[in-house]
Amino acid sequence: MTLITPSIRAELTALYTSPSRHYHNLTHITTLLSFLTTHRHHLSDPDAVEAAIWFHDAIYEPQHKKPGYSESKSAELAVSRLSGTVEPRRLEWIRKAILATARHEEEPGEFEGAEAEDVKVFLDMDLSILAAEEGEFEGYERGVREEYGSAVTGGASLKPKWYRTTFSCLAEVLGSTPIWCARFWDFQWESTWIPSYCLSHG
Q: Which residues of 28-52 are buried (b: 16+ CB within 10 A; e: fewer)?
A: bbebbeebbeebeebbebbbbbbbb
What sign results for the dihedral spanned by CA atoms 44, 50, 51, 56? positive
Architecture of domain 6-201: Orthogonal Bundle (1.10)
**Total length of the chain:** 202
146 vs 127, 162, 167, 198, CA distance in Å? 19, 9, 15, 21
Residue 49 confidence (pLDDT) above 70: yes
Q: What is the mean pLDDT of residues 144-157?
A: 63
Residue 9 pLDDT grade (very low, low, confident, very high; cuts 50, 70, 90): very high
- Confidence (pLDDT) at 44: 97
Instruction: Give which of 129, 76, 73, 136 is closest to 104, Cα–Cα.
Output: 129
Domain boundaries, the chain: 6-201
- Confidence (pLDDT) at 92: 98
- Is there a contact between 126 and 56 (Cβ–Cβ < 8 Å)? yes
**Can you give the pTM of this predicted structure?**
0.81
**Tens of pLDDT, residues 54-110:** 999 999 998 787 889 999 999 999 999 999 999 999 999 999 999 999 987 777 788
* 79 Cβ contact partners less than 8 Å away, ≥ 6 residues apart: 91, 94, 95
Residue 136 pLDDT grade (very low, low, confident, very high; cuts 50, 70, 90): confident
- Is there a contact between 56 and 71 (Cβ–Cβ < 8 Å)? yes
